[in-house]
Amino acid sequence: MEDSKKIRILTGDRPTGRLHIGHYFGSLKTRLKMQENDQYDPYILIADVQALTDNFNQPEKVRKNVRELVIDYLSVGIDPKKTTIYIQSMIPETAELTVFYSNFVTISRLERNPTVKTEIAQKKELFGESVTYGFLGYPVSQAADITTFEGKLVPVGEDQLPLIEQCREIVRKFNNTYGDVLIEPEAVLSNTKRIKGLDGNDKMGKSLGNAIYLSDSEEEVSKKIMSAVTDPNRIRKDDLGNPDVCMVAYYHHLFAPEKELKTICEECRAGKRGCVACKKQLIQYVNEFLNPIRAKREYYEAHPEIIDNILLEGTRKARLTAKETMKKVKKAMKLDYFES
Ligand code: TRP
């Protein structure tokens, strides 16, 4: 299908850390599926400017994680021929749009955004009692991310819904004022549920120390799984187990072959399988899943010039689209002084 007829899809990540299996099942898997659909034109943005809003004092960390993120993408199979990967800060049009959009957002509206509210509460250490203008305003910049590329569909997790809603509001106000220029995006909720941590916490995350990373070595995986939380009522090997409350069983559901899964749960319930053996089996499955990913990672780590090329090429392509949008926006806003 011709590119211009395809549906543009936009997703993004803040380059603040490595990706883990929660990201894989929560969003990367959806992205892999989408890039294989000929009707879609997927873009992935590496949101370094947004990452700086709460990491402004750690520029090295953000910079380093841009390339780490690309390696994570490529190692799971994101294909730069099908998915355009680009760096947010290299698209000045997005920064310009952020300024234009800021007239359509009130401060109290930003303060009421549930995602922003939660994050500010979590970042007391960084912001104290008073949050920066940049952080409070990042939803405006995210609206610019999406609309710069005329993103129609935005696949996100539930926590991002208020940001997409805020983007839609901005688009409607802009279009009401200056004419129908911008495309109103739609959020697409990924239907996979959030993956729990090894400790049973609802969320897998770096700060929680309960994640298996796509870049973890065999030894790291083994150590982490050996200390995963199992059924607390099962003390001896032949006690009857309850796989519904065991994190090892929970991960077997993600990694074990279908036909093994039944046996695993039945043996656990019957007290016929020890937790140590069960963990060892899981370690094997997780490593089998990660091995091809590790092999690709190794290849890309040895070829940093490939990563640079992908970023440069993706950003060059993204910039062409951004310039088109900016032309339309400036015309609508009567800022096209010397274009006649
Ligand atoms: N806020 C997103 C996150 O923290 C990252 C992001 C930035 C994004 N710009 C975006 C996601 C545009 C979707 C569309 O994960």
Share of the chain above pLDDT 70, in %: 99
The predicted pLDDT at position 2 comes to 78
User: Is any atom of ligand 1 closer than 6 Å to the C-beta of 321?
Assistant: no
pLDDT reading at 1 higher than 90:
no
Whether residue 11 has its Cβ less than 6 Å from ligand 1: yes
Identify which of 234, 209, 235 has the alpha carbon closest to the alpha carbon of residue 223. Answer: 209
More confident residue, 158 or 16: 16
Selected residue with higher pLDDT from 236 and 161: 161
Q: Tell me, what's the pLDDT at 38? A: 94
- The residues facing 43 across adjacent strands are 10, 84
Q: Which atom of ligand 1 is nearest to the CA of 13?
A: 5
Domain ranges of the chain: 3-196+304-332, 218-297
**pLDDT tens string 216-239:** 999 999 999 999 999 988 888 888
Q: Per CATH, is 218-297 categorized as 3.90.79.10?
A: no
How far is the C-alpha of 109 from the C-alpha of 186, rounded, in Å? Answer: 20
pLDDT for 203: 87
| pLDDT for residue 19 | 96
- Residue 26 has a pLDDT of 87
Query: Residue 96 pLDDT more than 80?
Result: yes
Q: Is the pLDDT of residue 210 over 90?
A: yes
Instruction: Determine whether the shortest distance from the Cβ of 154 to ligand 1 is under 6 A.
Output: yes
Percentage of the residues of the chain whose pLDDT score is greater than 90: 86
Does residue 162 have its Cβ closer than 6 Å to ligand 1? no
Q: Is the pLDDT of residue 191 over 80?
A: no
CATH number for the domain formed by residue range(s) 3-196+304-332:
3.40.50.620
Write down the mean pLDDT value for the chain. Answer: 94
Nearest atom, ligand 1, residue 146 CA: 12
Check residue 305 and give its pLDDT. Answer: 97
Predicted local confidence at residue 208, as pLDDT: 84
Residue 146 near ligand 1, beta carbon < 6 Å: yes
pLDDT at 67 over 80: yes
For position 265, what pLDDT does the model report? 93
DSSP 60-119: HHHHHHHHHHHHHHHHHT--TTTSEEEEGGG-HHHHHHHHHHGGG--HHHHHH-HHHHHH
| Helical pair 218-226 and 275-302, crossing angle rounded to 10 deg | 150
User: DSSP H helical segments within the chain, as ranges?
Assistant: 21-23, 29-35, 48-53, 59-76, 92-101, 107-112, 114-122, 124-127, 133-136, 138-148, 161-178, 218-226, 247-255, 258-269, 275-302, 304-332
pLDDT of 340 above 80: no
Chain centroid to Cα 199, Å, comes to 22
pLDDT tens per residue across span 290-331: 999 999 999 999 999 999 999 999 999 999 999 999 999 999
